[in-house]
Amino acid sequence: MYHLVQDKPVVQKYGGTSVGSLERIQNVARRVAEQHKQGLKKVAIVVSAMSGETNRLVDLVSGINPHASLRNYDMAVSAGEQVAVALMAAALEKEGVASYGFLAYQLGIVTDSLHSKARIRDIDCTKLYKCWEEGIIPVVAGFQGVTEDMEITTLGRGGSDTSAVALAVALDAGFCEINTDVDGVYTADPRVVPQAKLVEEMDFEVALEMASLGSKVLHSRCVELGAKYQMPIIVRSTFQPNDHQRTRIMSFQAQRRLEAPVVSGVTLDRNVVRMSLTHLPSKPGLIATVFDKIAKSGVNVDIIVHNKHEESDSVRLGFTIGAADLVRTQDMLQRWCEELGPQVKCTAERGLAKVSVVGLGMQSHPGVASQVFTVLEKEGVAIHMISTSEIKISSVVAEADAEKASRALHAAFIEE
Ligand code: ADP
Ligand code: ASP
Ligand code: MG
């Protein structure tokens, strides 16, 4: 019997691999129909595009025009979810359950207009309640949104997790289930670090750091929303039975935090590009102008390094951005550098990755940073940039060294 939380609705999200073939879609539909027959009546299903489909659409857009407007990009890349929704609803019908598919505009998943990284503002659940009254299972497209002007938006790569948690919040669900191709959240990507262990219970804070530092299993904004609205997130495998191990992400008691491990996870983000601006005139306000321009183009900047060259009275600025923002950032900065003068240069460096250790226990354990650097040095891994906070230490390294660095850090901090 499926365990319901005070008869509250449940949102189940199925990711790309989980719906990657007709057979897999039918398997998911079988599981959902079975639970529906056992009493899970108020369930909403969120699906991603079939695996590989969104990448294919991204390649089509950049193949036709790498400088395409983000409005056109969103219109193209959101299309994969439409097919997946319709196939899932049809598969449920085949299992003998009525089902309706909804795209973002049909339901009213309203976002701001920041194309390719839009944020959800509101979700109208009226049609979902109506479905439940009539015994229909609604299937909702993840990743997509619509602006108040009916423009199609997307939430950023991996954004279906965020669609699901936002929907769970809007429905006041008991929890949001993220069904994926691993058993839950591990201490590191199990595909990179074979010794990684499943974490059965995880605090929102650690999950958020891990997600925002590149652990692909959860979109970081879905964890942000979960934490803000105290919506428990269950991460489990689509391919395992209901009683199999899984991860529960929620707020645990302060008491447990005191005993939190120093390092609870190692993350690897391959999606790192370092931009450098050299020979910038050392003028007040110039640095603010650079980051203002970048922010206005909707690009998130991560690690920043600023050096002043006293002799030439010039400034060198280095910062990292996500690879998907490279073309836009470069176009914009190159134009601006030309305006500043021929000596100002803008360069981009690929082939980098960010490896981080994350843990609430770091707050009360000094010396973690020096240990990280010692481990990396022993492995012969050169560090290009460093960034720290109370609960994480990130190092930008050559992408070729990143997996080795992850395994060494995991061995030193988690397997010790
Ligand atoms: P989905 O298509 O279901 O959204 P994703 O590919 O986006 O799935 O995310 C699942 C993948 O995340 C796993 O296959 C795994 O390789 C990767 N991953 C990265 N870090 C972790 C981690 N700490 N724990 C579990 N999986 C991780
Ligand atoms: N299909 C989208 C992507 O590949 C959204 C998702 O998978 O969550 O990024
Ligand atoms: Mg995903």
CA–centroid distance, residue 351 to ligand 1 (Å): 21
Is the torsion defined by CA of 178, 181, 184, 187 positive or negative? negative
**Alpha carbon distances (Å) from 395 to 128, 133, 185, 205, 268:** 45, 52, 22, 20, 10
Dist. CA 98–CA 96, nearest whole Å: 7
Is the torsion defined by CA of 223, 157, 348, 291 positive or negative? negative
Predicted local distance difference test score (pLDDT) of residue 255: 54
Q: Which residues line ligand 1 (CB under 6 A)?
A: 15-18, 48, 158, 180-182, 185-186, 188-191, 215-217, 265
Residue nearest to atom 7 of ligand 2 (CA): 158
Contact 109, 123 (CB under 8 A): yes
Q: Where are the domains of the chain?
A: 2-181
**What's the pLDDT tens digit per position in 93-133?**
999 999 999 999 999 999 999 999 999 999 999 999 999 99
**Alpha carbon distances (Å) from 191 to 195, 203, 220:** 10, 23, 20
Q: Which residue, 154, 56, 149, is CA-closest to 104?
A: 154
Per-residue pLDDT of the chain (416 residues; tens, 9 = 90+): 345 566 899 999 999 999 999 999 999 999 999 999 999 999 999 999 999 999 999 999 999 999 999 999 999 999 999 999 999 999 999 999 999 999 999 999 999 999 999 999 999 999 999 999 999 999 999 999 999 999 999 999 999 999 999 999 999 999 999 999 999 999 999 999 999 999 999 999 999 999 999 889 999 999 999 999 999 999 999 999 999 999 999 997 655 666 677 899 999 999 899 999 999 999 889 999 999 999 998 899 999 999 988 888 899 999 999 999 999 999 999 999 999 999 999 999 999 999 999 998 888 888 999 999 999 999 999 999 999 998 999 999 999 999 999 999 999 999 97
Dist. CA 221–CA 279, nearest whole Å: 36
Residue nearest to atom 27 of ligand 1 (CA): 189
Predicted local distance difference test score (pLDDT) of residue 379: 97
CA–centroid distance, residue 218 to ligand 3 (Å): 6
48 lines ligand 2 (CB under 6 A): yes
Residue type, 223: V
Dist. CA 327–CA 369, nearest whole Å: 33
Give 270's contacts (C-beta < 8 A, 6+ positions apart): 214, 353, 399, 402
User: For domain 2-181, which architecture applies?
Assistant: 3-Layer(aba) Sandwich (3.40)
Residue nearest to atom 9 of ligand 1 (CA): 217
DSSP three-state, residue 148: coil
Dist. CA 247–CA 178, nearest whole Å: 10
**Alpha carbon distances (Å) from 102 to 124, 127, 137, 351:** 12, 9, 11, 39
Any bridge partners for residue 389, and if so which?
A: 392
Contact 296, 114 (CB under 8 A): no
Residues, Cβ < 5 Å to ion ligand 3:
15, 158
DSSP three-state, residue 257: helix
Dist. CA 301–CA 290, nearest whole Å: 11
Predicted local distance difference test score (pLDDT) of residue 131: 98
Predicted local distance difference test score (pLDDT) of residue 310: 84
